[in-house]
């Protein structure tokens, strides 16, 4: 086991390094650089001479070659200095501190919501295949899969604001924006967050549910299930103890992708819902080539992916010892 851990850890470091290089290069691919984007934000009254443009490039270090720029970024990053965002004139760390807590407050409950709902429903649908409830879950599940999150967000915003008088977007309703913290304000925030959790969670729930159902159906017809049943094990205990443990493997292996998803999997939905999370921040950073901000977020995401994959591998090994061999 120890050797396995060592081996995997080394792999992780190499992967993170390669990803960091790719992340940095990809951001530089579109024509122009941050100075172009910066000039694009000026209104017509601002006048900047070519000398000033060149000096700006020098100031941001954009005229050095890519290797130098990469080295400057990564060496600072390893010391915990994420650099500054050109666009916001704030440190990247400061921006992340502003947005990460809320992001996690939305995405962690979402993830829990997805698994807590999807796994039991998946099991039920498989065991009671072709029952009325199975058809109902399948129908709802396909709708959840087929409608993109952001479209769902638009629909729910419309319904919520037209029929329930809810606010259109954002964290708080207007009456609570300036109010000090109170029970009412917390409830208001939770009601707005729950909408987000519902929308973002719906797609994930549907997918996980279908995977769980399909895998379990395969297992239920296996001989060992018959054997256990013949030995007189109670039906639900039998199902949870043997076939579910095998069938859950693919669900566990997707946990690896959940971690980065927690930080930014919801760019477009969060944009539509106007939630101040890291998603829209990343979207804007990439678009305006705010390279330290974008590269840092992408780097964090990739580290999380790698850690997530590692964790899910460990979980798999625990759930199914055959994998270690």
**Nearest approach, Cβ of residue 275 and another protein (Å):** 8
Q: Given the complex with another protein, which of 25 and 52 has the nearer CB atom? A: 52
Dihedral (C-alpha) 87, 93, 97, 99: value to the nearest 10 degrees? 40
**Nearest approach, Cβ of residue 30 and another protein (Å):** 7
Q: Given the complex with another protein, which of 179 and 323 has the nearer CB atom? A: 179
The whole-angstrom separation of Cα 309 and Cα 302 is 10
**Nearest approach, Cβ of residue 43 and another protein (Å):** 6
Q: Given the complex with another protein, which of 50 and 65 has the nearer CB atom? A: 50
- Give CA separation, 234 vs 225, 237, 308, in Å: 12, 6, 35
Nearest to 239 by CA among 126, 105, 87, 89: 126
In the numeric block, the tokens 């970024």 are attached to 73
**Nearest approach, Cβ of residue 111 and another protein (Å):** 22
Dihedral (C-alpha) 45, 95, 101, 14: value to the nearest 10 degrees? 130
Give the interface with another protein as residue ranges (CB under 8 A).
Answer: 30-32, 36-37, 39-56, 58-59, 81, 84, 87-91, 93-94, 98-99, 102, 157, 161, 167-175, 177-178, 270-272, 274, 276, 280, 284, 287-289
Q: Given the complex with another protein, which of 215 and 285 has the nearer CB atom? A: 285
Q: Given the complex with another protein, which of 93 and 220 has the nearer CB atom? A: 93
- Give me 59's structure tokens: 């100031």
**Nearest approach, Cβ of residue 77 and another protein (Å):** 13
Q: Given the complex with another protein, which of 169 and 238 has the nearer CB atom? A: 169
**Nearest approach, Cβ of residue 110 and another protein (Å):** 18
The whole-angstrom separation of Cα 14 and Cα 25 is 17
DSSP character at residue 321: G
Give counts: helices (H), strands (E), the chain: 15, 2
> What is the end-to-end Cα distance of the chain in Å, rounded?
10
């Amino acid at each position: 086991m120890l050797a396995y851990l060592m081996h995997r850890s080394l792999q992780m470091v190499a992967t993170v390094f390669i990803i960091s290089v790719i992340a940095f290069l990809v951001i530089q691919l579109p024509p122009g650089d941050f100075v172009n984007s910066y000039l694009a934000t000026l209104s017509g009254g601002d006048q900047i001479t070519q000398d000033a443009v060149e000096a700006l490039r020098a100031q941001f270090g954009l005229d050095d070659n890519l290797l130098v720029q990469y080295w400057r970024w990564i060496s600072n990053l390893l010391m915990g200095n994420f650099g500054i965002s050109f666009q916001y004139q704030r440190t990247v760390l400061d921006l992340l501190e502003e947005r990460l807590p809320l992001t996690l407050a939305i995405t962690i409950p979402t993830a829990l919501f997805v698994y807590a709902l999807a796994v039991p429903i998946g099991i039920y649908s498989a065991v009671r295949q072709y029952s009325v409830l199975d058809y109902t879950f399948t129908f709802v599940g396909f709708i959840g899969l087929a409608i993109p999150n952001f479209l769902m967000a638009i629909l729910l915003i419309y319904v919520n604001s037209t029929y329930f008088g809810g606010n259109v977007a954002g964290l708080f309703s207007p009456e609570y924006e300036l109010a000090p913290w109170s029970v009412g304000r917390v409830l208001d925030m939770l009601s707005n967050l729950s909408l987000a959790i519902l929308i973002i969670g719906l797609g994930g729930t549907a997918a996980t549910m279908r995977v769980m159902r399909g895998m379990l159906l395969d297992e239920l017809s296996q001989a060992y299930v018959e054997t256990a049943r013949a030995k007189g094990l109670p039906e639900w205990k039998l199902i949870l103890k043997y076939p579910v443990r095998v069938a859950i493997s693919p669900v566990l292996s997707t946990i690896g992708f959940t971690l980065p998803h927690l930080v930014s999997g919801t760019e477009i939905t969060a944009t539509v819902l106007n939630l101040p999370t890291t998603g829209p921040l990343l979207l804007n950073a990439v678009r305006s080539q705010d390279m330290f901000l974008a590269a840092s977020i992408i780097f964090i995401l990739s580290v999380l992916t790698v850690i997530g994959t590692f964790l899910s591998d460990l979980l798999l090994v625990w759930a199914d010892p055959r994998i270690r061999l």
